[in-house]
Amino acid sequence: MRSIRILDCTLRDGGFVNDWNFGLGSMKSIISRLDKAGIDMIEIGFIDERRPYDPDRSILPDSGSISPLLRGLDIDNAMILAMIDYGTCDISRISLQKDSCIDGIRVIFKKKDQDAALEYLAQLQEKGYKTFVNPVSITGYSDGDVISLIEKINKLDPYAVAIVDTYGLMHSKELLHYYQLFDTYLNKSITIGYHAHNNFQLVYASSIELCELESDRNLVIDSSLYGMGKGAGNANTELIAMFFNENFSKNYAIEHLLEAIDVDILKEYAKAPWGYSLLYYLAASNDCHPEYVKYLLAKKTLAVKSVNDLLETLPEGNKLSFNKELIEKKYQEHQNVSCNDETSYLRLAKDIENRNILLLGPGASIINESDSIVSYIDKYKPVVISINFINDLYPIDYVFMGNSKRYSQFFHRIYGDGINVKVICTSNVSPSSKQIDYIFNYGALTNDTESVRDNPLLMVMKILKKCAVQEIVLAGFDGYTDNNEQNYYSDYIPLLYCQDDVLKRNSAMTECIKAIGKDMSISSLTKTMYL
């Protein structure tokens, strides 16, 4: 008769959330409660020789270091497992199973390392361990690749092999296809496991679908308490156990799982939440490594549409392995969208000819020193250009937007009822149904200094310089202090995103403005660190 079991990986996969720092007391409590709940297999963490021994962490340098974690616990039901990421633990650090407190070891490995990893697994078998074969990111394997791998696994004859959907890419059609391949070609004695992530919020439903298949194959479902795990998280142990109780006559004690969640897991969630998010949705929907999405979102210059467009351009062979140089190149190509901006320069130069120019920034000084700004506007009637924001504080003639993120944030203000401003954008801004009056090449306006590469004030200064403007006046460009929120007026603070390395921008801005100032007069109505 088919056996269907639960493998809880909270202390291993969940460790990606908190650097495996659960605390010794919590780890013992979690293991004890999982066992009392009747969970079939408990993965107690990673064995990784690169990490020093820390009794409070579930990532340990050798098999011997696991003993203190289990000392004093009466494990009545569960098979105790650990995981090794192939290449992170020499075989000499693993004792014989008869001298160990764990029953089995799961080994994860990349496709390119499969032969060496299987040899390593064979050595673990010789030491007496039940072995579990976990090829990461199964969606990176063709059918032929899978069958070839299975032929090698059959020779090893491990305890189990898992279908590992590392990035949560599979819907039921793909999952069932891979399952059928394994079920058809794998030795009948080998258990099939399923480990997935919740990028599409499908892992619970997909787990149920596998369990309800008509099959004689033994099955193990990976899960974790409250779904705790890397990125979008995993299947929830408490939900899988509930489903098994209701549909497969299991008798898991759910109350122990809920107690572990309440006492030991929710405090971790409060510190660093996991689960479904836009980031992991974008990664899964583009079949790519989440680090690509993190990298692009961290730029803080791209609208989600642009992020999605960029991900779609990644070569198939590079999608599941993060390549920083590749994605930076793609980002620069995207930002350096070219356009013929000659007409924009001619029109803008004509529109502002012989006018005083006032550039407005979102610094706190536009409130604190408003009298000076109002007095200047009343006296000189300047062309007022608001840079990367717009509000009702002063009459604005033009608004400049240097990235899609800001354009989207202020879209409703730019095109709102009663608003009559002309819009200036760089060519990297995603177009909308609304009119952009002047578009200028992004690439021609950037700077060599990375910290201010696409600073909007510097971009506008370059545009005005090419328009032969001889003098500009600034207001609201205060510069950066340690407390970034103090650098801006209150209504702008919720829109902040540039919290990192802000201080080094002061000197960079000063140098760049000094260089531009050789060709035009630059002064400030409000206090600034730049001049």
Q: What is the pLDDT of residues 157-184, one digit of tens each?
A: 999 999 999 888 899 999 999 999 999 9
Among the listed residues 490, 468, 10, 475, the one whose alpha carbon sits nearest the alpha carbon of residue 257 = 10
Asked if residues 418 and 342 have their Cβ atoms less than 8 Å apart, the reply is: no
Residue 76's pLDDT is: 82
Q: How does pLDDT run across 121-163, given as a tens digit for each residue? A: 999 999 999 999 999 999 999 999 999 999 999 999 999 999 9
E-strand ranges in 147-294 read 160-165, 191-196, 219-223
343's CB contacts (< 8 A; 6+ apart) are: none
d(CA 455, CA 511): 13
Locate tokens 């974690």: which residue? 69
Residue 161's pLDDT is: 98
Reply yes or no on whether the pLDDT at 334 is more than 80: no
Asked if residues 362 and 492 have their Cβ atoms less than 8 Å apart, the reply is: yes
Per-residue pLDDT band at 501 (split at 50, 70, 90): low
Per-residue pLDDT band at 502 (split at 50, 70, 90): low
Q: What is the mean pLDDT of residues 330-347?
A: 84
Cβ count near 58 (within 10 Å): 28
Among the listed residues 429, 424, 437, the one whose alpha carbon sits nearest the alpha carbon of residue 384 = 424
CA 245 to chain centre: 35
d(CA 330, CA 350): 36
Cβ burial of 437 (10 Å; 0-12, 13-18, 19+) is middle
Q: What is the mean pLDDT of residues 44-73?
A: 97
Tokens representing residue 24 in the block: 């010794």
d(CA 189, CA 159): 8
Residue 488's pLDDT is: 77
Least confident of 5-9, 184-188, 238-242, 439-443: 439-443
SS3 55: coil
Reply yes or no on whether the pLDDT at 512 is more than 90: yes
**How is the beta sheet containing 438-440 ordered, strand by strand?**
438-440, 422-426, 398-401, 383-387, 357-360, 471-475, 521-524
Distances (CA, A) of 466 to 3, 281, 454, 461, 480: 75, 43, 17, 9, 28
d(CA 405, CA 306): 10
Reply yes or no on whether the pLDDT at 486 is more than 90: no
Q: Which comes out higher in pLDDT, residue 420 or 138? A: 138
The DSSP H or E segment spanning 284 is helix 278-285
Reply yes or no on whether the pLDDT at 489 is more than 80: no
Q: What is the mean pLDDT of residues 351-374?
A: 93
215's CB contacts (< 8 A; 6+ apart) are: 2, 183
Tokens representing residue 495 in the block: 């829109």
Per-residue pLDDT band at 287 (split at 50, 70, 90): confident
Locate tokens 């990606």: which residue? 16
Q: How does pLDDT run across 372-399, given as a tens digit for each residue? A: 999 999 999 999 999 988 888 899 999 9
For domain 4-271, the question of CATH label 3.60.10.10 is answered with no
Asked if residues 6 and 237 have their Cβ atoms less than 8 Å apart, the reply is: yes
Cβ count near 333 (within 10 Å): 12
CA angle 141, 86, 70 (to 5 degrees): 125
Residue 27's pLDDT is: 96
Per-residue pLDDT band at 53 (split at 50, 70, 90): very high
Domain boundaries, the chain: 4-271, 285-335, 342-524
Residue 138's pLDDT is: 94
Least confident of 266-270, 276-280, 323-327, 463-467: 276-280
Asked if residues 93 and 49 have their Cβ atoms less than 8 Å apart, the reply is: yes
Average pLDDT in the chain = 91
Per-residue pLDDT band at 253 (split at 50, 70, 90): very high
Residue 153's pLDDT is: 98
Reply yes or no on whether the pLDDT at 108 is more than 80: yes
Per-residue pLDDT band at 481 (split at 50, 70, 90): confident
The model carries a pTM of 0.71
Cβ count near 99 (within 10 Å): 11
Among the listed residues 337, 371, 354, the one whose alpha carbon sits nearest the alpha carbon of residue 443 = 337
Residue 494's pLDDT is: 57
E-strand ranges in 390-520 read 398-401, 422-426, 438-440, 471-475
- Strands 398-401 and 422-426 turn out to be parallel
